[in-house]
Structure 1
Amino acid sequence: MSSPPPILLLKTKSSPHDGYEDYFSTNGYKPTFIPVLEHRFHTENLATVREFFASGAFNAETTTTTSTTTHHHGNNEDSGCDKKYGGMIFTSQRAVEAFAEMIEEKGLPFTPSKQPPPLPLYTVGPATARALTTLRNKYLPTATIHGADAGNGQNLAYLMLEHYNGLYPDTDNTTSTTKPSLLFLVGEQRRDIIPKTLMDPARPKSKQINVDEIVVYETGEMDSFEKHFRDVVSKELQRKVEGEQGPLWVVVFSPTGCEGMLRVLGMGPFKNQDQEPGQGVDDKQRDVFIATIGPTTRDYLKETFGFEADVCAEKPSPEGIAEGIKRFMDVRGD
């Protein structure tokens, strides 16, 4: 009897629960996590975020001054807002984890009533929304979460334009009162599609939303990634040779690590005499297939390495990956 098909997830396993492990373990796969990214939290900037809560930046009663650690895209910090920030944006689980670590270690102070402010939390993708929901339920029970089904930053930006502007329907930018900014917790490397969309000068001023970014983590490739990945791939391919299982699927979650992955697999520009997993869709002897979590990583593989991933998830979720794999294998006849 063959073993469950292996699926290698090039990501750090989320804590305390990982939706990918839960989904694939209960749907006939054997998931293995191979961390690619090393994350370092910016404790000073996280302390600044905590200070925003302590000083009342999210409360209507208090107006605070601007911190030098935030990257301002707009100029309404001196506009006379009743409060500095009216909501927060999270587009990665790492940002949620950084925020969570700060809260777990230091607590989350509130003034003047010591009650959590009823603020909207905007997120992109179901995995980040789940991580944020756990945090919200424990520390910010009055907060609301929006964007779990957004899928990407562009869609989330449009959602915020509709939802957040709807919270401030009487905003008039010809007076000294404007809607408060949104605080965006980001990594050192990020795309700027959300700030650009929310503050597009072509948009009526009353519909623009100011965004302040603050870097709460930085990311780099782990030194141990290639060796770890090579060891796991070798063991899985040996099981295939021995007839214990079918092809191996590798799921890629970001451009970081793509080069190392292709080098280990001997794919793309690293196709060589030592390893030949095979590239043809009709090649029944193919050993390894590649799926990407979304179009950004798919396009990076194609544009940087001339490599076409076999599957690109239509939605960045375990279900999206599984559906893409099933369609691909059905067409292939496996």
Structure 2
Amino acid sequence: MSSTTSDVPVLLLKTKSIPADGYQDIFAGWNNYNPTFLPVLEHRFREDALAWLKTITTGSGFNNSDTTVDAESSFGGIIFTSQRAVEAFTSIVESLDPPTRDQLLPEALPLYVVGPATARGLRSLGLRCPIIGEETGNGAALAAFMLDHYNRLPATQTVRQNRKLPLLFLVGEVRRDIIPKSLQSSDLLEEARIGVHEVVIYETCEMASFHIDFSRALGENVASGAQEQWVVVFSPQGCKAMLDCLGWLDESGRYKSDATDSSTMTTYVATIGPTTRDYLIKEFGFEPHVSAEKPSPEGIYAAIENYRTTNVTTQL
């Protein structure tokens, strides 16, 4: 196996995160990679939810020092577990007058995140709010972290009009209920429980044009003269279309054990973690070349670099 010294195409089967994307940063920051984002899923923000969120924000629903605001419309913090939720929140923040942002979203307001990607997106907004929890990595760990952190905050931050303020959880229509159940578990003392107000801020559907977009990207990479390319898969959605476009499926929809690239370019597949890797193996009989040890830009980059160093001989 060999590659030239030209940029190696990396097809990232995801929507590029806004306002910042760690995969763009880590791959575009190195001369030998050329990242391209190919969305598999289409995310649509719910206009009614965005309007509600802006009303709550501009009405000092997050500024707990304003005692005139009804406690029923107030929240002690916000939970983010997806990039789409961050993007929805970003649209609200950017619509605010800069002089009022720190007043409406003060430094006493904790923004709880599940990992580095959500933290990175929020930090790019330049708010004074503490962005915490990114080291937790999953919903269960984040819930445990919030139970400890939120219950230790001064009552001046978490109580309004004798009511313990709930946390606002911005979610998609499909989500797990680990966080709400953990924060409101009957196993907890009543005073330790934390209310959670879930708001479905976006909806998700499969991108109808993905098959066409992926095929076009493959053709462009072949035309560029690249001798190798990487496809990074983030979820089970799009796996079948990817393998089909590559010509790696037989008539029964299973991976052809003798499948080879139809061009001089060699294609390698990386997955974000074991769930997607196991899906490819179980559903199609295809084992990806690498799977990231950690579901992060750094994890994917390290997995690809390690494989190329071990298996791909670079011709200078």
CA contact (8 A) 1:2 1:245 kept: no
CA positional deviation for 1:304:
4.3
**Is the partner of 2:187 in helix, strand or coil?**
coil
Please point out which of 116, 137, 148 is paired with 1:162: 148
Of 5-14 and 85-94, deviating more is 5-14
Deviations 1:158-194 (A, max 9, x none): 2222222222589xxxxx9563211011111222222
Query: Could you say if the C-alpha distance between residues 270 and 311 of structure 1 is closer, same or farther in structure 2, counting changes exceeding 3 Å?
Result: same
Which residue of structure 1 lines up, in the alignment, with residue 245 of structure 2? Answer: 264
Instruction: Tell me if 1:90 matches 2:94.
Output: no
Instruction: Tell me if 1:220 matches 2:223.
Output: no
CA distance in 1, matches of 2:93, 2:266: 45
**Is the partner of 1:326 in helix, strand or coil?**
helix
2:232 alignment partner AA: V
1:143-158 alignment to 2 at 5 Å? Answer: 143-158=129-144
Which residue of structure 1 lines up, in the alignment, with residue 50 of structure 2? Answer: 46
CA contact (8 A) 1:56 1:63 kept: no
1:314 alignment partner AA: E
CA contact (8 A) 2:167 2:194 kept: yes
Deviations 1:121-169 (A, max 9, x none): 011222221111122x1xx42x110122332223322222222222258
Query: Could you say if the C-alpha distance between residues 258 and 192 of structure 1 is closer, same or farther in structure 2, counting changes exceeding 3 Å?
Result: farther
Of 101-110 and 321-330, deviating more is 101-110
TM-score by length of 1: 0.76
Query: Could you say if the C-alpha distance between residues 257 and 160 of structure 1 is closer, same or farther in structure 2, counting changes exceeding 3 Å?
Result: same
CA distance in 2, matches of 1:32, 1:50: 33
Instruction: List alignment gaps of at least 5 residues for structure 2.
Output: none
Which residue of structure 2 lines up, in the alignment, with residue 297 of structure 1? Answer: 276
TM-score by length of 2: 0.80
Query: Could you say if the C-alpha distance between residues 22 and 198 of structure 1 is closer, same or farther in structure 2, counting changes exceeding 3 Å?
Result: same
RMSD across aligned positions (CA): 3.3
CA distance in 2, matches of 1:258, 1:29: 22
1:251 alignment partner AA: V
Query: Could you say if the C-alpha distance between residues 188 and 304 of structure 1 is closer, same or farther in structure 2, counting changes exceeding 3 Å?
Result: farther
Which residue of structure 2 lines up, in the alignment, with residue 320 of structure 1? Answer: 299
Which residue of structure 2 lines up, in the alignment, with residue 69 of structure 1? Answer: none
* Percentage identity across paired residues of the two chains: 47
Instruction: Tell me if 1:63 matches 2:44.
Output: no
1:111-130 alignment to 2 at 5 Å? Answer: 114-117=103-106, 118-130=108-120
CA contact (8 A) 2:19 2:121 kept: no
Instruction: List alignment gaps of at least 5 residues for structure 1.
Output: 67-83, 171-175, 279-284
What is the aligned length?
297
Query: Could you say if the C-alpha distance between residues 102 and 248 of structure 1 is closer, same or farther in structure 2, counting changes exceeding 3 Å?
Result: same
CA distance in 2, matches of 1:219, 1:289: 28
Which residue of structure 2 lines up, in the alignment, with residue 11 of structure 1? Answer: 14
CA distance in 2, matches of 1:201, 1:305: 42
